[in-house]
A and B are shown apart, each in its own frame.
Chain A
Amino acid sequence: MHELTGYSFPNDLHVHWSLMIVMYPYITGFVAGAFIVSALFHVFGREEFRPVARLAMATSLCFMAVATLPLNLHLGHPERSWLVMVTPNLSSAMAGFGMLYSGYLLILVLEVWFVWRQEIITYARQSRGLKRTFYSALALGTYDQSPEAVAIDHRAATILAAIGLPGACMLHGYVGFIFGGIKANPWWSSPLMPVIFLLSAAVSGIALLSILYQVVAKLNGRSIEGRTVAALARWLWFFLILTITLELLEIIMLAYEKSESWHIISQLLTTRLEFSFITVQMVVGGLIPLILLGIVVLMDKYLHERIRNTLCITSSILLLIQVFSMRWNIVIGGQLLSKSMRGLRSPYSPEVFGREGVLMAIALVVLPFVLLWLFNRVLPIFGDDGHPPAAGQGGVEGGAATEARAA
């Protein structure tokens, strides 16, 4: 191929999918990843995840509530966004959003309801006035706290978690499909895309929960379960290895096949994306957590609690950055190469203010934690003794604790 001199199609000079479109898979990644953590307990019964299971579910719900915001902020006509649900074009992966989002939201809300039902009934019984009306409505007017009902709740939560797991996977997998199905863009077009997105989501969710669990425990003066931290680290390491392998595999495959697009993609990676891909995504965000988590997992016996917890938190923070940079490199990186395959656009820097700006992105990440705090006020995640009530149970012990608090 001749020496390339950069040429972009005249219409290709604009980056249409902005920072908001980077935030959207980032946030739905947390939704899916947090749900995976929750499902590790509710579906696969791994006891070491019991302390984080309810926190994970609440986190998933709070991020879910925010998930549509980056999309609506980006749309040219957000006031028409309901058309995606009313006249969806079923050949479009984006149209799947409406159904997948609604379906998964329904499952998640139902699961939260079943898991917290006993507390809801207790609060309905013990509160007065507006609070009582609220909790009674939430309880749908049934106050059954018998062991059989509790067992049914338990069963329902398990079933919903089992359905919800593929639901969460599809909710984020389809985002990967949105990119993977675009044959026009060789940086995106790959069957690996949905898988990479999903594994990356698991990484971000587990990393977030690792941080959240330790931070929340510290804030409430509770002890951190070593088993839980170690288990989170183990699964995080596992998903990280898979993610990095596939991300590298994609590049290696492109380089090996040396298809026409490799010429421009290699330029993209070594010029426009040099910092965000090589430095941040692969080295700082990939290699270093890989080593740190490897130490945590392989040398678990020899590590002091403090060191293990610190290594975990450090790796998790680095991984949150890695997952963000991965989304950035795919969304923005894919638009930096022109469809002419002969040129790269000038680098994209997001605006600071404005509805698609950096401040808005920060607000979008902060908002779910605000919601999480509100959620905890209405439906406490942990019981007073520091441990979440056993799933499907917790009516009486939790009731006593909240009653003592209310007194």
Chain B
Amino acid sequence: MEHARHVFRVVLVVIVALAAILIGRGFLVPKSHGVFGPYRGDNVVEQMKARPPAHQGAASCTPCHKAKAEARAAGSHKSVSCEVCHAPLLRHVADGKVTGPMPVDKAFTNCARCHRKIQGRPDKFPQVVLEQHVTTRLEGAVCLECHDPHSPKL
């Protein structure tokens, strides 16, 4: 075995290197890894707290905008959330305080998204061929000249 000394030496070097790697790995594995499964367990809570919820639903508008909310609830847009034509509540209110004006999309394109006649929508759903429905030019907030967005049915 005298002549195999170099073999033992190289094997020793390899073992030391492997041990160093394994020890090093122990320090590098994130602490919460493997707690719930083969992933970093802390991320679950991080995802829960990833961002404050932006939408709060139509009911959250009622306390300050009673009249509009009641009109909507009685009209044909009762299932259309305020946040569809306006923006998520977070753009307007944060921590119970108003932070800025609530954006609103008044352009006809917004109404057209639901009500322009195209293939695909259920037959009973109210749709119109816009070019025939609008007698003036099809531009800007032309739909609102006749329809109240909160209770649109004439």
Residues on A lying within 8 angstroms of B by beta carbon are: 82, 85-87, 89-90, 106, 110, 113, 117, 139-142, 144, 146, 148-149, 152, 156
Contacts and interface: CB of A to CB of B under 8 A. Distances in A.
Contacts of B5: 142, 144
Given A87-B33, A140-B9, A140-B13, A149 B3 contact: yes
Given A82-B28, A89-B38, A149 B14 contact: no
Given A149-B3, A152-B3, A152-B4, A141 B29 contact: no
Contacts of A148: 3
B57 interface: no
A89 to B, nearest CB: 5
B28 A110 contact: no
B23 to A, nearest CB: 12
Contacts of B9: 140-142
A109 to B, nearest CB: 10
Contacts, number: 38
B135 to A, nearest CB: 36
Contacts of A110: 10, 14
Nearest to A102: B21
10 A-B pairs closest in CB distance: A142-B6, A148-B3, A149-B3, A140-B9, A86-B28, A86-B25, A152-B4, A89-B38, A142-B5, A87-B33
Contacts of A140: 6, 9-10, 13
18 contacts: A86-B28, A86-B29, A87-B40, A89-B38, A106-B14, A110-B10, A117-B6, A139-B6, A140-B6, A140-B13, A142-B5, A142-B6, A144-B5, A146-B3, A149-B4, A149-B6, A152-B7, A156-B7
B30 interface: yes
A122 to B, nearest CB: 14
Which one of B3, B5, B38 has the highest number of Cβ atoms from chain A below 10 Å of its Cβ?
B3
How big is chain B's contact interface, by range? 10 to 19
B10 A144 contact: no
A152 B8 CA distance: 12
B29 A87 contact: yes
Nearest to A121: B6
Nearest to B14: A106
A139 B10 CA distance: 9
Contacts of B40: 87
Interface in B44-78: none
Interface in B82-122: none
B47 to A, nearest CB: 18
A152 B13 CA distance: 18
A106 B14 CA distance: 8
Contacts of A156: 7
A82 B28 CA distance: 9
Nearest to A82: B28
Contacts of B33: 87
Nearest to B38: A89
Contacts of B30: 87
Nearest to B12: A140
Given A117-B6, A139-B6, 19 more contacts: A85-B25, A86-B28, A86-B29, A87-B30, A87-B33, A87-B38, A106-B14, A110-B14, A113-B10, A140-B6, A141-B9, A142-B6, A142-B9, A144-B3, A148-B3, A149-B3, A152-B3, A152-B4, A156-B7
B96 to A, nearest CB: 37
B3 to A, nearest CB: 4
Q: Which one of A87, A144, A152 has the greatest number of beta carbons of chain B within 10 Å?
A: A87
Contacts of A117: 6
Contacts of B7: 152, 156
A87 B39 CA distance: 8
A156 B5 CA distance: 13
A156 B4 CA distance: 10
A90 B38 CA distance: 9
A99 to B, nearest CB: 11
Contacts of A106: 14
A156 B25 CA distance: 30
Contacts of A113: 10
Contacts of A144: 3, 5-6
Contacts of B10: 110, 113, 140
Interface string B17-32: 0000000010011100
A87 B5 CA distance: 36
A210 B13 CA distance: 36
Most buried by A among B7, B9, B25: B7
A278 B54 CA distance: 53
Nearest to B27: A86
A146 B3 CA distance: 8
A149 B40 CA distance: 50
A13 B29 CA distance: 35
B137 to A, nearest CB: 32
B134 to A, nearest CB: 31
A91 to B, nearest CB: 8
A110 B25 CA distance: 23
